[in-house]
Amino acid sequence: MQQNEFIRIRAIIRGRVQGVGFRRFVYRQAQSMAIGGWVRNNPEGSVELEAVGEASAIEIFMREIKKGPFLSRVDEVEQIQKEPLAHHPKVLFIIR
């Protein structure tokens, strides 16, 4: 992985991830690592996210997501998309 390599990743997180502050946890992690993107609840009980930023920061971010906040339980993190970006992304993260 090269320094300043930027990527976009989309993932679905399954487990006890709704009603436990999971989206707020994801938001705070993203803010602390200068990662842009979004997080949302899905109707079937999973959480979906898109994250954009430096590849090294995204790697650390995803490790933290697998841990989740105190009341959550992460059973699975399914990466559904990963792609390189040609330029520095906007660093804005929102909860949908």
31, part of any domain: yes
Identify the CATH number of the domain in which residue 65 sits: 3.30.70.100
Q: Give me the domain span that covers residue 39.
A: 6-95
**Count of the separate structural domains present in the chain:** 1
1, part of any domain: no
Token pair of 29 as six digits: 């992690």
47, part of any domain: yes
pTM metric for this prediction: 0.92
Token pair of 87 as six digits: 């330029």
pLDDT, tens digit (0-9, with 9 covering 90-100), for 26-57? 999 999 999 999 999 999 999 999 999 999 99
Spatial distance between the Cα atoms of 29 and 64, rounded to a whole number of angstroms: 8
43, part of any domain: yes
Catalytic residues: 23, 41
Q: Which pLDDT score, from 0 to 100, does residue 2 have?
A: 53
45, part of any domain: yes
Residue type, 46: S
